[in-house]
C-alpha cells in the first residue's frame, strides 16, 4: 500500500469492490422453490409475496451495466437450484444457459462474478424430501454443485456453496414452528431468513444441531465436487456474523452463545479457499443472554442498531477463528433505510473499520455491499437495502447517491479510513 496525500486507504491490487444480490430476492417468479410455495400457501405467515421481485431474471444485463458504469469491479449474484433442477434429477438446460450468459455478461463488463449456489431457497422437491434433514441432502446438493460447475467454468473464480448456513440452522426451528402454528402443511422448513433479528434477540431459539451437521456435510461434499469439476475454482461459504459482544462479566456466556450460532460454521471453513463475512450490526450478551438494542440507539428499518463498526469486528473475529491462511471477502454489509445519507454515513464507518483491519494485516480481498438493488427482504419489500432503487411497477432502476459515492471509491481504489469522512450526512434513525 503506497502512502498518498489523498485521503483514504489505497486498496491492494485486485481488491473487489461491488455489490451483492441473491436469486430469489431479485429474479422474480421463482415458482419451483420452497420459498415461493411458502409465500403462496393460504394463511402463510409470510406477510408479502416475492412476485416479480426486481425482475432481474430478465433485466440482469441492465443491472450489470449499471454496476460497471458506476465504477464497480465485482458483482455477487446467486444461481437458483430450483430453476436449474426444477424436479429431482431433471436439469433445465435453458436455466444452465441463462446463468452461463450471466457469468459471461459479468466478465464482459469487467465485473468479477462471485456466485452463490444456495441462498436460503431450495427446490420444492428437496424440501418435500425433508430438506437439510434428509439423509441424502449432501449427495443431492453435491449433484447440483456438479451441474453448477458447468456454469462456473465460464470464468468464475469465487463460488459460495451455501449462504449463511448459521441462519438456516436457526431459522429451521422458527420456520417449522411458524408453519405449524398457521396450520400450513407439513411443517417442513424452507430454511430462510424471516424474522432474523427476532431469532437472535431476547428469547432466541437454538440453532438446529442436526441441520448444522447436515449443512457442514453438504458444504464439504459440494466443495469436493466443485474442485473436481473445476480445479481453478476458489470455494467458500458465507457466514452471518452477529458480532456478539460480552457485557462485563458475561464473557463465558457470550462465547457459549456464539459457538453454535457462528463459530462452528467458521471452524468448518478452515480448509476453504476463502470465507465470506456478512455483518450488519452487533448483539450484546449479558449474563442472562442476549440484550435488547440499547435505549435511544438509532435503528434501521429492520430494527437493527445502527452500528457500522460491526464490519471490522466481524472481519477480525472471522480471521481469528478461520486462521490467517484463509482470505476474507466481505460478501454482505449494508443498511435498511430510506435515508440515503445515512447509508453513506453507515458505509463510511463500516469501510473505515475494514481499512483498519487491512492495515493490521488481515487478508481482506473484497467488499460487496448489500445490496445492489432494493429487493425482496424475505416477507417484505419495506426494508430497502439497495444502492439502486427499483420501481415495483415499471422495474425502472435509479442509482441513489450512495451508489455514485461507493462507485467513485471503487474507481479510485480508495476507502475511507475515518468514520467521520462521510460527505456531510449525520446519523439518525432509519
Q: Where on the chain is the footprint of ligand BGC (CB under 6 A)?
A: 22, 25, 163-164, 167, 193, 196, 240, 278, 332, 370, 377, 385
Which CB atom, from 64 or from 167, has the smaller least distance to ligand BGC?
Answer: 167
Which CB atom, from 250 or from 329, has the smaller least distance to ligand BGC?
Answer: 329
For the CB of residue 142, give the shortest distance to ligand BGC in the complex, in Å.
Answer: 22
Which CB atom, from 34 or from 377, has the smaller least distance to ligand BGC?
Answer: 377
Strand positions, DSSP E, 82-157? 112-118
For the CB of residue 226, give the shortest distance to ligand BGC in the complex, in Å.
Answer: 20
Phi/psi for 332 (5° steps) reads -155, 135
Which CB atom, from 225 or from 387, has the smaller least distance to ligand BGC?
Answer: 387
For the CB of residue 3, give the shortest distance to ligand BGC in the complex, in Å.
Answer: 36
Which CB atom, from 82 or from 250, has the smaller least distance to ligand BGC?
Answer: 82
Task: Return the number of other C-beta atoms located less than 10 Å from residue 364's C-beta.
Answer: 24
For the CB of residue 228, give the shortest distance to ligand BGC in the complex, in Å.
Answer: 27
How far apart are the C-alpha atoms of 83 and 324, rounded to whole Å? 37
For the CB of residue 238, give the shortest distance to ligand BGC in the complex, in Å.
Answer: 7
Torsion sign, CA atoms 106, 107, 112, 113: positive
For the CB of residue 359, give the shortest distance to ligand BGC in the complex, in Å.
Answer: 27
For the CB of residue 348, give the shortest distance to ligand BGC in the complex, in Å.
Answer: 19
Which CB atom, from 238 or from 356, has the smaller least distance to ligand BGC?
Answer: 238
Which CB atom, from 178 or from 253, has the smaller least distance to ligand BGC?
Answer: 178
**3-state class of 175 per DSSP?**
helix
For the CB of residue 11, give the shortest distance to ligand BGC in the complex, in Å.
Answer: 24
**3-state class of 142 per DSSP?**
helix
Cis peptide before 371 (omega within 30 of 0): yes
DSSP code, position 207: P
How far apart are the C-alpha atoms of 52 and 31, rounded to whole Å? 10
397-399 and 112-118 as β-strands: parallel, antiparallel, unpaired? unpaired
How far apart are the C-alpha atoms of 215 and 151, rounded to whole Å? 23
Phi/psi for 3 (5° steps) reads -65, 150
For the CB of residue 424, give the shortest distance to ligand BGC in the complex, in Å.
Answer: 26
Print the SS3 string covering 350-419.
Answer: HHHHHHHHHHCCCCEEEEEEECCECCCCCCCCCCCCCCEEECCCCCCEEECHHHHHHHHHHHHCEECCCH
Rounded to the nearest angstrom, the gap between the alpha carbon of residue 298 and the centroid of all alpha carbons in its chain is 23
Which CB atom, from 165 or from 419, has the smaller least distance to ligand BGC?
Answer: 165
Helix (H) or strand (E) holding 178: helix 165-181
Which CB atom, from 123 or from 194, has the smaller least distance to ligand BGC?
Answer: 194
Q: Is 291 exposed, middle or buried (0-12, 13-18, 19+ CB in 10 A)?
A: middle
**3-state class of 337 per DSSP?**
coil
| Residue 299 grid coordinates | 435503528
Amino acid at each position: 500500500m503506497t502512502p498518498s496525500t489523498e485521503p483514504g486507504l489505497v486498496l491492494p491490487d485486485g481488491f473487489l469492490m461491488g455489490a451483492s444480490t441473491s436469486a430469489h430476492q431479485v429474479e422474480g417468479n421463482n415458482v419451483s422453490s420452497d420459498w415461493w410455495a411458502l409465500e403462496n400457501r393460504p394463511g402463510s405467515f409470510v406477510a408479502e409475496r416475492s412476485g416479480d421481485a426486481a425482475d432481474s431474471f430478465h433485466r440482469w444485463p441492465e443491472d450489470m451495466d449499471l454496476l460497471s458504469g458506476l465504477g464497480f469491479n465485482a458483482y455477487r449474484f446467486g444461481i437458483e437450484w430450483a430453476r436449474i433442477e426444477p424436479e429431482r434429477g431433471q436439469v433445465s438446460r435453458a436455466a444452465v444457459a441463462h446463468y452461463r450468459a450471466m457469468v459471461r455478461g459479468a466478465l464482459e463488463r469487467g465485473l468479477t462474478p462471485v456466485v452463490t449456489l444456495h441462498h436460503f431457497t431450495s427446490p420444492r422437491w428437496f424440501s418435500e424430501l425433508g430438506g437439510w434433514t434428509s439423509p441424502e441432502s449432501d449427495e443431492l446438493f453435491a449433484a447440483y454443485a456438479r451441474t453448477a460447475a458447468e456454469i462456473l467454468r465460464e470464468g468464475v473464480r469465487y463460488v459460495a456453496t451455501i449462504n449463511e448456513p448459521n441462519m438456516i440452522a436457526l431459522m429451521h426451528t422458527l420456520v417449522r414452528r411458524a408453519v405449524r402454528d398457521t396450520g400450513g402443511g407439513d411443517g417442513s422448513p424452507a430454511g430462510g431468513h424471516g424474522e432474523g433479528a427476532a431469532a437472535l434477540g431476547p428469547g432466541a431459539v437454538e440453532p438446529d444441531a442436526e441441520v448444522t451437521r447436515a449443512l457442514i456435510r453438504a458444504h464439504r461434499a459440494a466443495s469436493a465436487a466443485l474442485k473436481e469439476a473445476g480445479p481453478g475454482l476458489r470455494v467458500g461459504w458465507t457466514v452471518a456474523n452477529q458480532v456478539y459482544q460480552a457485557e462485563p462479566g458475561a464473557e463465558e456466556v457470550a462465547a457459549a452463545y456464539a459457538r453454535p450460532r457462528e463459530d462452528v460454521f467458521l471452524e468448518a471453513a478452515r480448509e476453504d479457499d476463502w470465507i465470506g463475512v456478512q455483518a450488519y450490526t452487533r448483539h450484546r450478551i449479558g449474563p442472562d443472554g442476549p440484550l435488547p438494542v440499547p435505549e435511544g440507539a438509532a435503528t434501521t428499518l429492520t430494527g437493527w442498531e445502527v452500528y457500522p463498526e460491526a464490519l471490522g469486528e466481524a472481519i477480525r473475529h472471522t480471521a481469528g477463528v478461520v486462521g490467517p491462511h484463509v482470505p476474507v471477502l466481505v460478501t454482505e454489509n449494508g443498511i435498511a433505510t430510506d435515508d440515503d445519507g445515512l447509508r453513506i454515513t453507515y458505509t463510511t464507518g463500516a469501510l473505515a473499520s475494514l481499512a483498519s483491519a487491512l492495515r493490521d494485516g488481515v487478508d481482506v480481498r473484497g467488499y460487496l455491499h448489500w445490496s445492489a438493488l432494493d429487493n425482496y427482504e424475505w416477507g417484505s419489500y419495506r426494508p430497502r437495502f439497495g444502492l439502486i432503487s427499483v420501481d415495483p411497477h415499471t422495474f425502472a432502476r435509479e442509482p441513489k447517491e450512495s451508489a455514485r459515492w461507493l462507485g467513485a471509491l471503487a474507481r479510485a481504489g480508495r476507502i475511507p479510513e475515518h468514520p467521520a469522512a462521510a460527505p456531510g450526512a449525520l446519523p439518525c434513525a432509519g
